[in-house]
Structure 1
Amino acid sequence: MATLQTIRSKGPLLVIVIGLALFAFIAGDAWKILQPHQGKQDVGEVNGETLSAQDYQKMVDELSEVIKLTNGLNSLNEDQLSNVKDQVWQSYVNNKLIAAEAEKLGLTVTDAELQAIIDQGTHPMLMQTPFRNPQTGAFDKDMLKKFLVDYANLNNSQMPAQYVEYYQTLGNFWKFIEKSLRQSTLAEKYQNLIMRSLISNPVAAEDAFKGRTEQSDMLLAAVPYSSIADSTVQVSDDEIRKLYDTRKEQFKQLAETRNIRYIDVRVVPSDADRQAVLKEVTDYSNQLVNTSDDFATFVRSTGSVVNYADVPVNKTVLPQDVTARLDSVAINEVYGPYYNQADDSYNAFKIIAKTTAPDSIQFRQIQVYANTEDATKTLADSIFTALKGGADFAELAQKYGQTGEANWISAASWEGAELDAENAKYINALISQPVNELASLNLGQATVILQVMNKKAMKDKYKVAVVKLPVEFSKETYNDAYNKFSQFVAQNTTLEDLKKNAEESGYTLIPRTDFSSDEHYVGGVHSTREALKWVFAAKVGEVSPLYECGDNDHLMVVSVEKINPKGYRDINSVADMLRAEIRRDKKAEKIMAQMNGFNSLDQVKGMTDAVSDSVKHVTFSAPAYIAVTRASEPVIGAVAEKTAAGKLSAPIKGNAGVYMIQVYNKDKSAEEFNAKTEESNLTNMAARYASQCIYDLRTKAEVVDQRYLFF
């Protein structure tokens, strides 16, 4: 099982490396019951090719299994699952777009190419598999081949179910790697083709080098645009229309969005609720004093959010508020009740034991299982006796369909986890078993013959029973909040009503512009899918029903204020932005006219509200940050590069004001020009442009995303 732990430890990097190829590997869960919207069964389409809700759910389930396996998780929370849904959709769209382009160009990934990648063994995905040499850490194709042979000859009837599941999981994991390698290699081919069309040359290399290494030190004076009142600069509707027509392509949106307003009421505990939780924890702390065994059952009965497992753990696994108090508490002493502000909880705990235990254990085992309990015991006794008599452990294990190999297991894999009695018994045996001695453990209907080979990193560890109860609102508190808000919603059935009466009733009406259907949550509140579906079915001015949402602690009502259809944004929605740009340009024209004929910075400094500064090490390739105007000004670097030392520039229209600069020093870095290095840098920049092509493909494609109707 150490191999699975290896996969888990490398999980985050693996998920990042896979990139465009985030697709399935496990045979997937059964199709979950959908709630079709108006008879539709498609969650979206790419250039006319539809994706059914069933297939999308299968992809989501498959990637969920990948992430749970590689990160050692039993389940995913709502936020994690939302991320999975988005990753699956993005990967599906990207791979469809790339596959279509690759087909036009005749790009493919052959089996021979895939095998060559595996044989070479340096691809990042291969480096994160468990098939790696223990000494070098490098991918070992021979280990992979051996596994594939064993997997192909897997005999389910002769191997314990635990090992069958292990081999099947690892086999499916490798299928996932193969599929991902093929998809990512095709994407790399396409991007490399684009990248190779962007050719660097010695002239561009020299310009890039100069732009990066030639520096200018300068004095500057400026008049900020803020020195002119907006009210004094008039902007006509015709001017806005003209600029809109010029910039129209920038205002194209690929999907419909909506402007909404909503009220989000979070239900919080009352003072009476807090007192009730304190009384409850006080009672439990008194009971904890007299509890001397079966702490797992007791802690479970309290509803504590901290599980108890009858194994010693590092203090770092315990809640921080408990860890901070451990050294001041004796064995079998109860501490509490006390309040912890960090998680708004009342607490009590009892230290049951303190011991020294390893953080890493190397062991090997043979799992014995027969048709009956008596047969299992007889067979286990026979194997145990043979091992005691000097029989070879590995040979006996292989006789019963197991490897008998020694594996390392880390305490991190069980500490903090919820363990049943059988698992706790197994872990305690690993911890307490002397090195090289044999033990026979009865676990359920099977028997495990166990031998600990080595132990490392001995540390102080604790058994602590923790009662931690967060302060939560009572049913009465929730009902009071619900009844009050429900009455408000019933009395305010239009958006205008909400605007007029929300504040007076103690509620805040929150605006949100450009809300899109792929955001999963309304107002960032969990479990608002029904509200999201309502938003994209409602008409302007309508008010939704009251929604109970969040983690059963939010109440919400939503209204649609405006619909922004797919296509070009209407001029009114961007008029303020355009007006500000035109006003800025007019201010620049006015200031530059006043500077006309100036031949010194002192003349600029003499202007009303002028500011001045000195800036060093300005290059063409990096925007200059001007502290006195608090703005990044790329144009300053461009003008400085062309201005000779001792010369004064013409007025410069910047982002925050109009500038004049005087360069007093030109310098070069000590770096020497190397044409090949610079051309390589330009090629790497081209690679970034090649990545941009995926976005361009998506912009031009017909992509329909209606996942919100189902998920």
Structure 2
Amino acid sequence: MGIMGYLRDRMGTILAVFIGFALLAFVAGEVIKSGSSIFRDSSSEIGEVNGSTISYKEFSERLDLSTRQFQQQSGQAISPQITTYLQESTWGQFLTDKLLSKEVEKLGITVGDAERQNMISGTTPDQQIMRQFTDQQTGQFSRERLNQFLTYIQSPQADTAQLKQWGTFLTELIKDKKRQKYMALVSNGLYVNSLDAQDDYNGKNKLANFKYTVLDYASIPDNKVTLTDDDYSAYYNDHKPEFKNKQELRSFDYVSFNAAPSKEDTLAIKTQADKLAADFKASTNDSLFVQINSVNKAPLIFQKKGQLDPKLDSVMFSAEKGFVYGPYLSNGFYKISKLLAVKVGPDSVQARHILIDPSKEGGLDKALAKADSLKKLLAGGKTFAELAKDFSTDRSSGEKGGDLGTFGRNTMIPAFDDAVFDGKAGEIKVLTTQFGVHLIEIQKQIGASKVVKIATVDKQLEPSQKTQNEVYNKSQAFLGGLTKDNFAEQAKKAGLTVKKAEDITGTSASLPGLDNARAFVKWAFKAEKGDFSEEVFPIGDQYVVGSLTEIKPVGYLSLDAVKKQIEPAVRNIVKGKMLAEKLAAATSGANNIDQVATKAGSKVVPVQNIVLANPVIPGSGPEYKLIGTIFGSKPNVLSKPVAGTAGVYVFTLESFINPATLTNAVREKQTLGQTLTQRADGQVLDALKDKANVKDNRAKFL
């Protein structure tokens, strides 16, 4: 294989895969911009981490790389939800990069020249190097390919752009190595001793048998409980770390005016679709008819049962050529489908090809002549695999002797599909497509099924201009009657339901019930609390007007900001005090749990074989405080009231069943150590992020 061809095929993959790995390796579980050009002022700062700025340009470039990777790997369209996910992911990559680079620099972690050389071309190169220079046929690292590449990249013939890419690759490789060393320092500092192992072993294996009685919080009606400012303050102060806001959040109310097609609109479009169906039935050039009349111009390909729209699947395989079905409604379109052809063909094909690039051969005629020459060489005894390795410009398949594997119908482009599925096993064909000239060998055809070729034209079901104007005028009239504090009142007068969007981030692209709501969210992050939108936002088939109700800044949220959120928990604490008094009175003078239950009007529940590591009450749920208290108790002693998750408990521990003695703690220590190590990377990053001074300006740009 020529080194230039290898570079063309692999360099992009090398960089894309490595950069993705290097940036994501330390992000647990973690793209796309919303339509506008990414090239704004390169000095604009989209964020800052501990004084180190992130420019909008570099963020956008990495976002684009993530976008391409996602699309290549998933083949999915970029929805608003994926947009938000990928923006968050890219932002997380920058945070990780900045935070770890700072720690690495602070500790003076380096990669020496000898270590660097060993990572690239030593006895055991870095895994990223080995992965990219793997022989596809053997699955093994190819030292020969690596040396060939290194010789080329250091030669005067090396392409400038490729040299730059290689330099970027090595820079990321070294940065990643430093990060690995940093994480190794943390992991190697973790130590599990024998007492830790014994505690963990007991937590998983020591059994507790007990009886309890409980008074549920739900037994006291909410309206019987009065909450004071002191109740709220006490809970807030005890749980303050839970109220640290890592990014600004905003909440707003909104109303929407439905501009979906009216009955009249639907009828008018249906009439148009009926006429289109009659014209389609009479058409003698179906391909041209689809191109002229269809909104979505699907390729005309053969499909087997199960691949069509369910409505078509039930009729087309028993119909005759020329049959027209519809109009039928599907995904917001009236559609008309025509059966163009029916035949029996293979389910899958095994084939190989040699691709010839006309631009390198001096034109299409010369490329076709070369294909004929290769075909003659095959007839003269040359093997297809041998010729593919030497002449195919599709290097990924050429290295495998042109092998394309076994593939189903519609895997390839339509022209290629037709050539291999309509031919016969053993046949050699010459085919011209947009990719060049193919010399194809059909090696094997597998299975046989009835297939149909369907042409479909569609007419979108959309509101008329009259409908849109009427609804828009209603929304404008509503907007005109708004003041700073009458949003809910005006909505009620207009018979509109006020919807809520709570704790929305500045980069959100969708809201509950509203996709593609980016412009609306951007307004909310420029507004002040109490403001209403000064314009109507068209979102899908809705016209939306909003009112900003709350701003939660970065940092510790105030008690007022979380008061509604914590109210249920505060109420349960107050109820807990009331129930604890009742159980304390029932416990007074009682000799056993049965007497307590009788006095309290509750029942006794026996529980067997509970372990500390899984503190769940059967039939109820997790009760951490209760189970923890039980494992710290003595048998046959009536407990004091314990406020748990579901209610207030009184219990009697009947017995512990101790596990077999842990004679060798080595395995237990190893298991516990591995768990700590696996959690270390994520927890280190969480700690660094928690301490970092981060400025997030994404809401201004995205």
Scaled by the length of structure 1, what TM-score is found?
A: 0.81
Q: Which residue of 1 aligns with 2:353?
A: 364
Q: Which residue of 2 aligns with 1:487?
A: 477
* 50, 56, 74: which one aligns with 2:59: 56
Q: Which residue of 2 aligns with 1:308?
A: 299
Displacement after TM superposition at 1:542 (Å): 1.6
Q: Which residue of 2 aligns with 1:700?
A: 691
Q: Which residue of 1 aligns with 2:30?
A: none
The answer to which of 650-659 and 380-389 deviates more is: 380-389
Instruction: Summarize the Cα distance change of 1:442–1:152 in structure 2 as closer, same or farther, 3 Å threshold.
Output: farther
Q: Does the 8 A contact of 1:228 with 1:587 survive in 2? A: no
Q: Which residue of 2 aligns with 1:225?
A: 217
Rounded Cα–Cα distance in structure 2 between residues aligned with 1:57 and 1:329? 52
Letter paired with 2:488: K
Instruction: Summarize the Cα distance change of 1:412–1:440 in structure 2 as closer, same or farther, 3 Å threshold.
Output: closer
The answer to which of 480-489 and 323-332 deviates more is: 323-332
Displacement after TM superposition at 1:212 (Å): 0.8
Instruction: Summarize the Cα distance change of 1:373–1:213 in structure 2 as closer, same or farther, 3 Å threshold.
Output: closer
The answer to which of 663-672 and 456-465 deviates more is: 663-672
**1:34-73 matches, cutoff 5 A:** 41-72=44-75
Q: Render the CA deviation track for 1:271-321: whole Å, top value 9, x for unaligned.
A: 22322343344334334433455x433334342547133x32343432233
Q: Which residue of 1 aligns with 2:198?
A: 206
**1:617-632 matches, cutoff 5 A:** 617-625=609-617, 627=619, 630-632=620-622
Q: Which residue of 2 aligns with 1:103?
A: 105
Displacement after TM superposition at 1:114 (Å): 3.8
Displacement after TM superposition at 1:709 (Å): 1.1
Displacement after TM superposition at 1:363 (Å): 0.6
* 519, 525, 536: which one aligns with 1:536: 525
3-state DSSP class of the match of 1:259? strand
1:430 aligned to 2:420? Answer: yes
Aligned residues: 671
1:560 aligned to 2:548? Answer: yes
Unaligned runs of 5+ in 1: 23-27, 157-163, 418-422
* 32, 36, 51: which one aligns with 2:37: 32
Q: Does the 8 A contact of 2:537 with 2:543 survive in 1? A: yes
Instruction: Summarize the Cα distance change of 1:666–1:133 in structure 2 as closer, same or farther, 3 Å threshold.
Output: farther
Q: Render the CA deviation track for 1:172-225: whole Å, top value 9, x for unaligned.
A: 999998777655554444333323323111111112111111223433211122
Rounded Cα–Cα distance in structure 1 between residues aligned with 2:143 and 2:190? 40
Displacement after TM superposition at 1:698 (Å): 0.8
Q: Does the 8 A contact of 2:198 with 2:665 survive in 1? A: yes
Instruction: Summarize the Cα distance change of 1:119–1:462 in structure 2 as closer, same or farther, 3 Å threshold.
Output: farther
Q: Does the 8 A contact of 1:119 with 1:141 survive in 2? A: no
Instruction: Summarize the Cα distance change of 1:618–1:14 in structure 2 as closer, same or farther, 3 Å threshold.
Output: farther
Q: CA RMSD in A?
A: 4.3
Instruction: Summarize the Cα distance change of 1:584–1:466 in structure 2 as closer, same or farther, 3 Å threshold.
Output: same
Letter paired with 1:107: I
* 258, 280, 287: which one aligns with 1:296: 287
Rounded Cα–Cα distance in structure 2 between residues aligned with 1:456 and 1:147? 40
The answer to which of 609-618 and 44-53 deviates more is: 609-618
**1:376-395 matches, cutoff 5 A:** 376-391=367-382, 393=384
Q: Does the 8 A contact of 1:262 with 1:556 survive in 2? A: yes
Q: Does the 8 A contact of 1:363 with 1:454 survive in 2? A: no
Of all paired residues, the percent bearing the same amino acid is 21
Q: Which residue of 2 aligns with 1:80?
A: 82
The answer to which of 232-241 and 314-323 deviates more is: 232-241
Instruction: Summarize the Cα distance change of 1:212–1:485 in structure 2 as closer, same or farther, 3 Å threshold.
Output: same
Q: Which residue of 2 aligns with 1:477?
A: 467
Q: Which residue of 2 aligns with 1:610?
A: 602
1:441 aligned to 2:443? Answer: no
**1:296-695 matches, cutoff 5 A:** 296-303=287-294, 305=296, 307-309=298-300, 311-339=301-329, 343=331, 345-351=333-339, 352-369=341-358, 370-391=361-382, 393=384, 400=391, 402=393, 404=398, 405-409=401-405, 411=407, 414-415=410-411, 423-443=413-433, 446-456=436-446, 459-467=449-457, 469=459, 471-494=461-484, 496-523=485-512, 525-550=514-539, 552-576=540-564, 577=566, 579-580=570-571, 582-597=573-588, 598-608=590-600, 610-625=602-617, 627=619, 630-643=620-633, 648-664=638-654, 666-667=656-657, 675-687=665-677, 688-695=679-686
Q: Does the 8 A contact of 1:261 with 1:561 survive in 2? A: yes
Q: Render the CA deviation track for 1:487-513: whole Å, top value 9, x for unaligned.
A: 21122142x221111022132222334
Q: Does the 8 A contact of 2:525 with 2:699 survive in 1? A: no
Q: Does the 8 A contact of 1:192 with 1:690 survive in 2? A: no
Instruction: Summarize the Cα distance change of 1:477–1:339 in structure 2 as closer, same or farther, 3 Å threshold.
Output: same
Displacement after TM superposition at 1:376 (Å): 4.2
Instruction: Summarize the Cα distance change of 1:376–1:226 in structure 2 as closer, same or farther, 3 Å threshold.
Output: closer
Rounded Cα–Cα distance in structure 2 between residues aligned with 1:274 and 1:146? 67
Letter paired with 1:99: S
Scaled by the length of structure 2, what TM-score is found?
A: 0.82
Q: Does the 8 A contact of 1:312 with 1:463 survive in 2? A: yes
3-state DSSP class of the match of 2:90? helix
Unaligned runs of 5+ in 2: 28-32
Letter paired with 2:116: D
Q: Which residue of 2 aligns with 1:282?
A: 274
Rounded Cα–Cα distance in structure 1 between residues aligned with 2:23 and 2:431? 41
Letter paired with 2:24: G
